[in-house]
């Protein structure tokens, strides 16, 4: 059912040309993730590699629970095609703008509110086609769950910020869309909400989202109508007429909490923590998702204080926006992790053609003395 344009050969040639000329390339799709992947801009020898013209759904097989799509395809276009056949991506991807692409979504590697009950973006990847740093087109994984060959390489593309290669195609597993949904809300402190979410996690209730903001716990249920209605009655929370809007804004990271300008000295952090972790002793405002597993913090606390508290709780913290002075954007890697990351990067991109400043430096660019 190929619906788009295949530019694989031209993109591979562009990479080979850059290697021969000694240039580096910054992979660009819709441009929406540039602030996440290249927060300090490009270096003089870096050129953008525009890939949004490489787009289209290659194969959509609802009966097989799989879709294969080119990386330049807008996420909204993919979502619309899935809705027509009552299917969905398990990880509830963000669609911050109409030009947000599948490639950018995979490069950033973040998952939406449904993640704890379905799958993360990384876990939903079945296979990929990429162009490596030599300009070679490679395929990893496949389109069926039983085909495990190459799974790890395919899934490494999730969250790689364009450091391992140019993503051409990706195959995702699908799930049937819920037949019925309900949105509820209840007043709660953050601490009480975290405890309640932990208790709810021991039940079989059909949750598809648990979030907390501004003293309100937000609950989303999804599944068969009878099961959802019974769960809503059991929980006893109030119906939330604004629920659909809240969850859409949370998905697309458009809530005012996430978008309003930073105050002087304030930073916005995204923390990943064990869900049952009590509220951290840090100043600022909080937004909770995943029942407490994903936490957003607006704070004037120092980067060292934020990361120390997060590490002590068994998590990691990413600087999302605000003053980067004295703070790495990504949580510092453990030495063993950084070494492995560098080795994988060197294997897939031996000449360091892909510009990815937030990832462990390419061995080619690390001073030897």
Q: How confident is the model at residue 296 (pLDDT cuts 50, 70, 90)?
A: very high
Does position 369 have pLDDT exceeding 50, yes or no? no
Nearest alpha carbon to residue 322 among 340, 359, 297: 297
- Alpha-carbon distance of 124 to 138, in angstroms, equals 20
Residues with Cβ within 8 Å of residue 140, at least 6 apart in sequence: 127, 128, 129, 130, 150, 151, 153, 154
What is the rounded average pLDDT of the residues 347-365? 80
Q: How confident is the model at residue 334 (pLDDT cuts 50, 70, 90)?
A: confident
- Alpha-carbon distance of 58 to 81, in angstroms, equals 12
223 close to 177: Cβ distance less than 8 angstroms: no
- Alpha-carbon distance of 107 to 115, in angstroms, equals 17
Question: Exposed, middle or buried, 317 (CB in 10 Å: 0-12/13-18/19+)?
Answer: buried
Q: How confident is the model at residue 2 (pLDDT cuts 50, 70, 90)?
A: confident
Q: What is the pLDDT of residue 148?
A: 47
State whether residue 283 is helix, strand or coil.
Answer: coil
Domains 8-176 and 180-251 agree in fold: no
What is the rounded average pLDDT of the residues 59-66? 98
Q: What is the pLDDT of residue 363?
A: 59
Question: Which residue has 């807008």 as its token pair?
Answer: 74
- Alpha-carbon distance of 306 to 269, in angstroms, equals 9
Q: How many CA atoms lie within 13 A of 55 on its CB side?
A: 18
Question: Which residue has 């080795």 as its token pair?
Answer: 343
Does position 81 have pLDDT exceeding 50, yes or no? yes
Here the tokens at position 216 are 């309100």
Look up the CATH number of domain 8-176: 3.30.465.10
Beta bridge partners of 167: 130
User: 32-46, 88-102, 269-283: which has the highest mean pLDDT?
Assistant: 269-283
Q: What is the pLDDT of residue 97?
A: 87
User: 45-49, 62-66, 146-150, 158-162: which has the highest mean pLDDT?
Assistant: 62-66
- pLDDT above 70 as % of the chain: 91
Tell me the pTM: 0.92
Does position 368 have pLDDT exceeding 50, yes or no? no
For the chain, domain boundaries: 8-176, 180-251, 256-322
Query: 320 vs 326, which has greater pLDDT?
Result: 320
Q: How confident is the model at residue 366 (pLDDT cuts 50, 70, 90)?
A: very low
Q: What is the pLDDT of residue 125?
A: 96
**Which H/E stretch holds residue 295?**
strand 294-299
Here the tokens at position 263 are 């105050």
What is the rounded average pLDDT of the residues 278-295? 98
- The DSSP symbol for 1 reads -
- The DSSP symbol for 64 reads G
- Alpha-carbon distance of 2 to 358, in angstroms, equals 34
The pLDDT mean for the chain works out to 91
Sign of the alpha-carbon torsion through 17, 21, 27, 28: negative
Does position 41 have pLDDT exceeding 90, yes or no? no
Q: How far is CA 126 from CA 2, 68, 169, 279, in A?
A: 19, 9, 11, 36
Please count the other Cβ atoms lying within 10 Å of the Cβ belonging to residue 65: 17
Question: Which residue has 């609802």 as its token pair?
Answer: 62
Here the tokens at position 64 are 């097989």
Q: How confident is the model at residue 35 (pLDDT cuts 50, 70, 90)?
A: low
Q: How confident is the model at residue 171 (pLDDT cuts 50, 70, 90)?
A: very high
Beta bridge partners of 54: none
The top-level CATH class assigned to 256-322 is alpha beta
How is domain 180-251 classified at the architecture level of CATH?
2-Layer Sandwich (3.30)
Q: Name the CA radius of gyration of the chain, rounded.
A: 21
Q: What is the pLDDT of residue 359?
A: 74
- pLDDT above 90 as % of the chain: 78
Query: Using one digit for the tens of pLDDT, what is the confidence trace for 99-153?
Result: 899 999 999 999 999 999 999 999 999 999 999 999 999 999 877 554 444 447 8
Q: What angle do CA 194, 196, 201 make, to 5 degrees?
A: 95
- Alpha-carbon distance of 221 to 205, in angstroms, equals 8
Does position 174 have pLDDT exceeding 60, yes or no? yes
């Amino acid at each position: 059912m190929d619906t788009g344009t295949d530019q694989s050969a031209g993109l591979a040639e562009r990479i080979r040309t850059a290697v021969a000329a000694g240039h580096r390339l910054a992979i660009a799709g819709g441009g929406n993730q540039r602030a996440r992947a290249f927060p300090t801009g490009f270096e003089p020898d870096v050129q953008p590699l525009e890939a949004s013209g490489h787009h289209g759904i290659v194969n959509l097989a609802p009966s097989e629970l799989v879709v294969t799509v080119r990386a330049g395809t807008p996420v909204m276009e993919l979502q619309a095609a899935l809705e027509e056949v009552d299917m969905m991506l398990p990880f509830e991807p963000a669609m911050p703008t109409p030009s947000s692409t599948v490639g950018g979504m995979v490069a950033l590697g973040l998952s939406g509110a449904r993640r704890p009950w379905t799958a993360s973006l990384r876990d939903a990847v079945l296979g990929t086609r990429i162009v490596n740093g030599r300009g070679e087109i490679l395929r990893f994984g496949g389109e069926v769950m039983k085909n495990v060959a190459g799974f790890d390489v395919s899934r490494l593309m999730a969250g790689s910020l364009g450091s391992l290669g140019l993503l051409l195609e990706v195959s995702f597993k699908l799930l049937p869309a819920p037949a019925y949904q309900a949105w509820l809300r209840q007043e709660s402190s953050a601490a009480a909400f975290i405890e309640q979410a932990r208790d709810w996690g021991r039940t079989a209730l059909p949750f598809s989202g648990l979030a907390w903001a501004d003293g309100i716990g937000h609950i989303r249920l999804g599944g068969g109508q009878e099961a959802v209605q019974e769960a809503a009655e059991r929980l006893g929370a109030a119906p939330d007429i604004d629920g659909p809007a809240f969850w859409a804004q949370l998905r697309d990271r458009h809530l005012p909490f996430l978008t309003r300008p930073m105050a002087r000295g304030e930073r916005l952090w995204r923390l990943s923590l064990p869900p049952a972790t009590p509220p951290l002793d840090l100043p600022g405002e909080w937004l909770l998702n995943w029942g407490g597993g994903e936490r957003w913090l607006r704070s004037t606390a120092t980067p060292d204080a934020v990361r120390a508290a997060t590490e002590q709780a068994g998590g990691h913290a990413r600087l999302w926006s605000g003053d980067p002075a004295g703070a790495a954007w990504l949580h510092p890697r453990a030495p063993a992790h950084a070494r492995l990351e560098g080795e994988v990067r060197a294997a897939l991109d031996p000449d360091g053609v892909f510009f990815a400043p937030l990832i462990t430096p390419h061995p080619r660019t690390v001073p030897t003395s």
